[in-house]
Chain A
Amino acid sequence: MKPLSDGLLRRLRRVADLPDLSDSKYRLIRKLGSGGMGNVYLVEDTVLRREVALKVINIPDPPPDLTARMLREARIIARLEHPGIVPLHDVGELPDGRVYYTMKRVQGSSLERYSKSIEPLSERLRIFQRICQAVAFAHVRGVIHRDLKPENVMVGGFGEVLVMDWGIAKLQEAPDEKAAGGEGVASDDFSSGPQTRSGTVLGTPAFMAPEQARGQVEAVDARSDVYALGAILFFLLCRKNPPLPEAEPAFTKQLAWDLAAARAEDRPLSRPLRAICTRAMAWDNSARYDTVTALIADIEAFLDGRAVSAYRENLLEIARRFLFKYRFLAGLVLTYLIIRLLMIFFFRP
């Protein structure tokens, strides 16, 4: 037999990895990319005649319960109907046993790339708010993302923000269902098979809460996502990755140092904004915001010029904020007072 040329070898590697869609309604167009959990392909849904993204979980020889677990995961993600979460269309199994999903094809760029082009601080914070809203919704439905990072947030052509890659998400009892006494979902960890055992580190180090980085699966909850959101906020404010949560107090010091050195629109970041980021990224999860909703509330308060829960202001700061918020009114009053003074001075009887 003739030896395989390098070109042929490359082609065969691709061929061996291609999903076999011969018995499905999908037609393969091309590969879009690959990640830790699998490969993503652009395919055509030949029935609906639309292009969708197909993700194949690339775990060969999966353990027997994996398919069932993946199906369950798909069903749960399918419940996350929110404008900020990529909708899942279909789930199935390839003839070789690999599980696949199809989901909306998202065109745009990752937050990592997109953030380089946004200058105004308020716009960065508005995008951040939209990310938080999607995550808050998932939390209400009992789903913890566990791998939030700028790479996993897409900003579409019309400015829509989408939180992607729920592959290593964790399912907890959904608070809304618990309150409503509905069909509760038992606390479980439904990411792919053996990778979720306690002690196994899942996620991306710079955006991973300390408890997650230590592999304490049981300790990972909504506050771990709050940490990751804080890390995304840090990324948006400082335009770089946050320090790695390796050891205290070095981590907190570095965080404070970086935030103090950051500038937005040629001005240092305000203390309340730095405090919001610091609180979201607190080393100890009990010191963080309890919920993403609380984090959103603080961001909203900051944007509206109100006091934020993460920062206790002194009187001077309250006055300054008040004056800044009502600067138009303050200007009018001041003008009135000046005119009044001038009148008293010039038109004294």
Chain B
Amino acid sequence: MHDDTHIGGAGSRFPQTRGSAIIAARSGDAETRNRGYAALVAGYWKPVYKYIRLKWHQSNEDAKDLTQGFFAQAMEKEFFQGYDPAKARFRTFLRTCLDGYIANENKAGKRLKRGGNAQIMGLDFENAEGEIRELQLSAGTVPEDFFERESLRSLFEVALARLKEACETAGKMQHYRIFERYDLREDEAEKITYDQLAAEFDLPVSQITNHLAYVRREFRRLVLEILRELTASDEEFRSEVREVLGVDPE
């Protein structure tokens, strides 16, 4: 699954729509519409790409083309106009559209460089490909569950990217680094105490906890902001928040 080239760059910036990107994508105003689409692409391109690789067993190159092609056609043919929040979650709707699109492409034997030709934004496929390799998927992975999980992963990655950017802008990189050290540590077994952090950053413990609280607060705000952008109604938003943040007690 890892034999070919990569296109695009590190363009993972998430365009902010200040509201629902789905509603923006259905706007009559071209600029708002483009911004809405760009936000949806940024939020979903990675799960879409990985899903195509897993479910449709496409090669890296074909999956890239199909990902680009899907979003290009969604924009051209206004796929998302037909979305009704009362019937399904947007994520489910998007996946259904994607399955339909790929089935059509396969049926017509149109494995063209359609998407590649219609590249709509720089997407870091190499990174996504690397993630697939790291995930070590088992034979029993259900593609639909995989898509859900990858959407969640993508959401948190985007939130983290935004968080870092926000901390940079606000001149609070030390806050971010404390958060990175404490909450983003890779090693589950590594136990870090506030005292250790205080010694490491040469700050009093109270400041460590305050900095951590600030970044966590920002992080929650950004997760909610992105969820707001990726949902079309208050009800869908609330239900998504419950699902995304509703984790079991430790």
Chain A positions near chain B (C-beta within 8 angstroms): 1-5, 7-18, 20-22, 30-34, 58-61, 95-96
> Which residues of chain A are near B210, meaning CB under 8 Å?
22
Q: How far is the CA of A22 from the CA of B127 in the complex (A)?
A: 37
**CA of A79 to CA of B177, assembled, Å:** 46
Partner of B134, one of A3, A22, A32, A95: A3
Given A1-B160, A20-B213, A60-B238: A30 and B183 interface contact (C-beta under 8 Å): no
B157–A4 contact, CB under 8 A?
yes
Tell whether, in the assembled complex, residue B216 and residue A15 are in contact, meaning their CB atoms are under 8 Å apart.
yes
B181: interface (CB < 8 Å): no
Identify which of B184, B234, B249 contacts A32 (C-beta below 8 A).
B249
A20 x B216 contact (CB < 8 A): yes
Most chain B C-beta atoms within 10 Å of own C-beta, residue among A11, A12, A33, A34:
A12
Q: Is B247 an interface residue (CB 8 A)?
A: yes
Scan B12-37; emit 1 where CB is below 8 A from any A CB, else 0. 10000000000000000000000000
Which B residues are CB-close (under 8 A) to A10? 247
CA distance A22 to B160 in the complex (A): 21
CB interface residues, B 110-169, toward A, < 8 Å = 127, 130-131, 134-135, 152-153, 156-157, 159-161
Contact between A15 and B246 (Cβ–Cβ < 8 Å)?
no
Q: Please, how many angstroms separate the alpha-carbon atoms of A14 and B216 in the complex? A: 10
Q: Given the complex of chains A and B, what is the CA–CA distance between A7 and B188 in angstroms?
A: 7
Is the CB of B223 closer than 8 A to any CB of chain A?
yes
Q: Assess A60 versus B241: contact at CB under 8 Å? Given A4-B153, A4-B156, A8-B184.
A: yes
Closest-CB distance, A161 to chain B (whole angstroms): 24
Question: A-B pairs with the 5 shortest C-beta distances?
Answer: A22-B213, A3-B131, A17-B245, A31-B249, A16-B220
> Does B224 sit at the interface, judged by CB under 8 A?
yes
How far is it, in angstroms, between the C-alpha of A3 and the C-alpha of B46 when the chains are bound?
A: 11
* Chain B residues engaging chain A, CB cutoff 8 angstroms: 12, 127, 130-131, 134-135, 152-153, 156-157, 159-161, 183-184, 186, 188, 209-210, 213-214, 216-217, 219-221, 223-224, 228, 234, 237-238, 241-242, 244-250
Provide a sorted-by-A list of 11 A–B residue pairs whose CB atoms are within 8 angstroms: A8-B184, A8-B186, A13-B244, A15-B220, A20-B220, A22-B209, A30-B249, A34-B246, A60-B237, A61-B234, A61-B237
B residues less than 8 Å from A13 (CB atoms): 156, 244-245, 247
Cβ–Cβ contact B157 & A1, under 8 A: yes
Q: Which residues of A contact B157 (CB under 8 A)?
A: 1, 3-4
The answer to whether B224 touches A60, judged by C-beta atoms less than 8 angstroms apart, is: yes
Contact of B250 among A2, A12, A14, A59 (CB under 8 A): A14
Contacts of B184 in A (CB 8 A): 8, 12
Which residues of A are found within 8 Å of B250, using beta-carbon distances? 14, 30-31
Quick check: B221 and A96 within 8 Å, CB to CB? yes
Evaluate whether A17 and B242 lie within 8 angstroms (CB atoms) in the complex, with A1-B157, A7-B188 already known: no
Residue on B with the closest CB to A13? B247
- Bound CA span A96–B224, Å: 11
What is the bound-complex CA distance between A31 and B159, given in angstroms?
A: 24
Chain A residues with Cβ below 8 Å from B234 are 61
Residues in A whose Cβ lies below 8 Å from that of B228: 61
Within 8 Å CB of B153, what residues of A?
A: 3-4, 9
Compute how far the CA of A15 lies from the CA of B183 in the bound complex, rounded to whole angstroms.
Answer: 8
What 8 additional pairs, Cβ within 8 angstroms, besides A9-B156, A15-B219?
A13-B245, A20-B213, A22-B209, A22-B214, A30-B249, A34-B249, A60-B237, A61-B228
Q: Which residues of A sit under 8 angstroms from B245, Cβ to Cβ?
A: 13, 16-17, 58
Please measure, in the bound complex, the distance between the C-alpha atom of A22 and the C-alpha atom of B216, giving whole angstroms. Answer: 11
Contacts of A4 in B (CB 8 A): 153, 156-157, 160
Determine how close the nearest CB of chain A comes to the CB of B194; give it in whole angstroms.
11
Residue of A nearest to B240 (CB): A60
**Contact in complex: B217, A95 (CB < 8 Å):** yes
Give complex CA distance A331, B184 in Å: 78
Contact of A12 among B127, B156, B214, B221 (CB under 8 A): B156
| Residues of chain B with a CB closer than 8 A to A22's CB | 209-210, 213-214
Given A3-B130, A5-B186, A9-B156, verify A16-B223 contact (CB < 8 Å): yes
A185 to B248, CA, bound (A): 38
**Which of B188, B216, B224 sits near A61, CB closer than 8 Å?**
B224
Instruction: Return chain B residues, CB-CB under 8 Å to A18.
Output: 216
Of the residues B160, B237, B242, contact of A58 by C-beta under 8 Å: B242
Please determine whether A9 and B183 come into contact, CB atoms closer than 8 angstroms.
no
B247 touches A14 (CB 8 A): yes
Chain B residues positioned under 8 Å from A96 (CB to CB):
217, 220-221
In the complex formed, the residue of B with least CB distance to A10 is B247
Q: Contact between A12 and B183 (Cβ–Cβ < 8 Å)?
A: yes
- Which residue in chain A gives the minimum CB-CB distance to B46? A3
Complexed CA–CA distance, A95 and B210 (Å)? 13
Are A17 and B247 in touch, CB under 8 angstroms? yes
Minimum C-beta distance from A92 to chain B (A): 15
CA distance in complex: A95, B223 (Å): 16
Q: Nearest chain B CB to A192's CB is how many angstroms away?
A: 11
In the bound complex, how far is the Cα of B216 from the Cα of A21, in angstroms? 11
Q: How far is the CA of A316 from the CA of B237 in the complex (A)?
A: 64
Which chain A residue has the least Cβ–Cβ distance from B179? A15
What residues on A are CB-neighbors of B248 within 8 Å? 34
Chain B contacts for A1, CB-based, 8 A: 12, 127, 157, 160-161
How far, in whole Å, are A96 and B153 apart by their CA atoms in the complex?
A: 23
Q: Which residues of A contact B214 (CB under 8 A)?
A: 22
Q: Which residues of A contact B221 (CB under 8 A)?
A: 96
